[in-house]
């Protein structure tokens, strides 16, 4: 039995490299029994990566983990679990067709005669956990029938039922109601009394008051500071989360021009929660030669907003869009493209590229008609047509026939840009255009955006990197939980003000 305050886990100098990015750079972390450590930081600060290493999901590249002062090397999540470490993932990891009880005890079901599952015991134990979490569902209900918030609680029950000593929670309150949050916090208090050490990732700083003992702030894969809760003010925490220096591109601020695209009252219904919205009455406009930056944390509805504008949710979205003063109704991406819109999606490999095709084939895919002669593709014309853009964007590739998979992330992104520029768009929408590419390529992309706007293109750029938004945008629209919370001009924007506008204020979520 551990006493409150005992050192249960130490992480020393943990580093983790992803292709082109140092996700963690020599991070130290100590966890003590009976205390909750709140882990704060912007998107991409390395919080989730660090937690995955603690939970055995990924091995560290460098550094050491000690549990009870003994070094360990986890071979997988199960191994970490044997040491009493459990993680509640941001993405739900339940089996939808199994019952609540089966999910809670998945992999450690109570057995009869060592072989058969003892269902009465399974359901009895499960209902105790459900009662404790005040979750009013039968243990035999299939998980698929539960709301997302209820599923989150089942996930929590599963972690708790495993007799944990170290519990990792990655934004557990992002999908649950106020009442469920209260129950969760009571559970957390119970667990702390029992000596469980908890790591808690959140963007809701208001929650900390009720549960936090220690604060750890991360930024860009580094540890920025640790303190006991109460030593830091709200503003100090925010300042520690931001505060990265980025060279600002010299750029003349755009004069007040007529908007190319304006959208009003854009809303998108939540696919499963009726009455809830992923995008909630957002207005925006963008002018010729202007970059509109859209900033928000994970789940703010930024990507969904772009998808609405691009005609991807014709049935569940609403609002007015006009392009060049003409009111348009966009029912599919082909409509949007015909009206001069272009979307560079967030997930290059999944949504942007056809990986089995060459550089030229990817670059010409949206504008193949222009390379046709008598109904057949003229390959020379196609190459000529795509070479212009590929050269202009300085794509590094051995040839146009090279497979797109063999290019670096930055060059792949430029090929996607080339694809869209070939369609002659009026508005270019970029969703996290520099995600997962190295610093050098990032700067090249910024320069390209600058060149394109000089040529008169209107650009909407979604990003969760504050310094990037501040460096590239003429205006910045901040979103939080589906709503546009504030808009800044380039001159008046500060990192603190933007982040304040992006952080959720605790409001009640309808049940």
Partner 1 sequence: MLENKREHLAKFQSLIALAVMLIAMSLLSDSFFTPENGLNILRQISVNLSLSIGMTLIILTGGIDLSVGAILALSGAVAAGLLKNGIVIEPLGVKLQFTVIGSIVSGLLVGSAAGLFNGIAVTRFKLPPFVATLGMFSIARGLTMLWTGGFPVTGLGSSFGYIGTGVLLGIPVPVWITGGLVGVFVALTRKTRFGRHVYAVGGNERASLLTGLPVDRIKIAVYTLGGLLAGMAGLIVTARLDSAQPNAGLGYELDSIAAVVIGGTSLSGGRGSVMGTVLGCLIIGVLNNGLFLLNVSPFWQQVVKGFVILAAVAVDRMSQRDR
Q: Whose Cβ is closer to partner 1: residue 176's or residue 400's?
A: 400
Handedness of CA 119, 122, 128, 130 (dihedral sign): negative
Query: Does 249 contact partner 1 by CB under 8 A?
Result: no
Q: Which of 189, 249, 355, 439 binds partner 1 (CB under 8 A)?
A: 355
Q: Of the listed pieces 64-72, 219-227, 247-255, 360-368, which binds partner 1 according to CB under 8 A? A: 360-368
Residue 323 to residue 258: CA distance in whole angstroms: 11
> Shortest distance, CB of residue 482 to partner 1, whole angstroms?
22
CB of 357 to partner 1, least distance (A): 6
- Rounded CA-CA distance 322/324 in Å is 7
Q: What part of residues 271-330 is at the interface with partner 1 (CB under 8 A)?
A: 310, 312
- Exactly one of 209, 351, 384, 489 binds partner 1 (CB under 8 A); which one? 351
- 478 binding partner 1? (CB under 8 A): no
Q: Determine which residue in the list 199, 337, 418, 458 makes contact with partner 1, applying CB under 8 A.
A: 337
Return the bridge partners of 85, or none.
Answer: 166
- Cα separation, 36 vs 194, whole angstroms: 12
The tokens describing 224, both together, are: 């920025």
Residues 491, 503 contacting (CB under 8 angstroms): no
Angstrom distance (rounded) from CA 127 to CA 120: 11
**Based on CB atoms, which residue is closest to partner 1, 256 or 399?**
399
- Interface with partner 1, residue 377, by CB under 8 A: yes
With CA atoms as reference, report the closest residue to 433 among 459, 455, 403: 459
Q: Does 357 bind partner 1 (CB under 8 A)?
A: yes
Which residue, 84 or 433, has its beta carbon nearer to partner 1?
433
Residue 152 as a binder of partner 1 (CB under 8 A): the answer is no
The Cα 475–Cα 29 span in angstroms is 38
**Could you count the other beta carbons within 10 Å of the beta carbon of residue 68?**
14
In the range 418-477, which residues lie near partner 1 by CB under 8 A? 419
Helix segments in 405-481, DSSP class H: 409-421, 439-454, 466-472
Confirm or reject binding of residue 375 to partner 1 (CB under 8 A): yes
- For the CB of residue 379, give the shortest distance to partner 1 in the complex, in Å: 8
- Member of 345, 410, 425, 482 binding partner 1 (CB under 8 A): 345
Nearest approach, Cβ of residue 333 and partner 1 (Å): 5
Residue 70, interface with partner 1 (CB under 8 A)? no
Of 356 and 447, the one with the shorter C-beta distance to partner 1 is: 356
Q: Shortest approach of partner 1 to residue 334 CB, angstroms?
A: 4
Give least dist CB 360 to partner 1, A.
Answer: 8
The string over 380-403, giving b where at least 16 C-beta atoms fall within 10 Å of a residue's C-beta and e elsewhere, is eebbebbeebbeebebebeebeee
CA distances from 359 to 347, 348, 419, 434 (A): 18, 14, 10, 19
Nearer to partner 1, 196 or 416 (CB): 416
Name the nearest CA neighbour of 41 among 225, 273, 316.
Answer: 225
Asked if 358 is part of the footprint of partner 1 (rule: CB under 8 A), the reply reads yes
| Rounded Cα–Cα distance for residues 80 and 187 (Å) | 22
Three-state DSSP class for 197? strand
Q: Which residues bind partner 1 (CB under 8 A)?
A: 310, 312, 332-334, 336-338, 343, 345, 350-358, 361, 365-366, 368-369, 372, 375-377, 379, 401, 403, 419
């Amino acid at each position: 039995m551990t006493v409150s305050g005992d050192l249960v886990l130490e992480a020393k100098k943990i580093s983790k490299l992803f292709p082109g990015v140092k996700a963690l750079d020599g991070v130290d972390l100590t966890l003590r029994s009976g205390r909750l450590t709140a882990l704060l930081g912007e998107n991409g600060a390395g919080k989730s990566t660090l937690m995955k290493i603690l939970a055995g999901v990924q091995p560290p590249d460098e550094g050491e983990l000690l549990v009870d002062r003994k070094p360990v090397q986890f071979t997988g999540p199960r191994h970490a679990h044997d040491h009493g470490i459990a993680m509640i993932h941001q993405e739900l990891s339940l089996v939808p067709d199994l019952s609540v009880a089966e999910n809670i005890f998945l992999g450690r079901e109570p057995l009869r005669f060592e072989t058969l599952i003892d269902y009465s015991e399974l359901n009895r134990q499960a209902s105790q956990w459900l009662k404790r979490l005040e979750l009013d569902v039968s243990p035999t209900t299939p998980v698929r029938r539960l709301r997302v918030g209820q599923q989150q609680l089942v996930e929590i029950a599963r972690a708790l039922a495993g007799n944990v000593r170290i519990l990792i929670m990655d934004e557990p309150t992002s999908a649950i109601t106020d009442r469920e949050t209260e129950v969760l916090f009571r559970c957390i208090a119970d667990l702390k009394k029992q000596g469980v050490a908890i790591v808690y990732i959140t963007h809701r700083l208001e929650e900390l008051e009720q549960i936090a003992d220690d604060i750890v702030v991360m930024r860009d894969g580094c540890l920025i500071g640790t303190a006991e809760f109460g030593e830091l003010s709200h503003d100090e925490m925010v300042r520690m989360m931001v505060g990265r220096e980025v060279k600002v591109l010299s750029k003349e601020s755009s004069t007040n021009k007529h908007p190319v695209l304006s959208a009003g009252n854009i809303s998108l219904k939540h696919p499963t929660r009726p009455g809830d919205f992923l995008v909630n009455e957002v207005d925006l406009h963008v002018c010729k030669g202007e970059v509109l930056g859209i900033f928000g944390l994970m789940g703010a509805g930024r990507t969904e907003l772009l998808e609405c504008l691009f005609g991807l949710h014709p049935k569940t979205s609403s609002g007015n869009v006009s392009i060049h003063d003409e009111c348009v109704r966009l029912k599919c991406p082909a409509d949007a493209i015909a009206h001069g819109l272009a979307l560079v999606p967030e997930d290059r490999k999944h949504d942007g590229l056809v990986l089995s095709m060459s550089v030229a084939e990817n670059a010409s895919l949206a504008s193949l008609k222009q390379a046709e002669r008598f109904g057949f593709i003229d390959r020379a014309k196609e190459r000529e047509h795509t070479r212009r853009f590929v050269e202009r964007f300085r794509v590094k590739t051995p040839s146009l026939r090279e497979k797109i998979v063999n290019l670096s992330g930055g060059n792949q992104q430029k090929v996607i840009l080339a694809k869209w520029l070939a369609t002659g768009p009026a508005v270019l929408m970029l969703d996290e255009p520099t995600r997962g590419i190295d610093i050098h390529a990032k700067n090249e992309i910024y320069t390209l955006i600058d060149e394109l706007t000089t040529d008169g293109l209107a650009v909407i750029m979604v990003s969760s990197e504050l310094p990037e938004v501040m460096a590239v945008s003429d205006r910045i629209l901040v979103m939080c939980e589906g709503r546009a919370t504030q808009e800044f001009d380039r001159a008046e924007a500060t990192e603190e003000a933007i982040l304040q506008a992006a952080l959720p204020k605790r409001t009640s979520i309808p049940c």
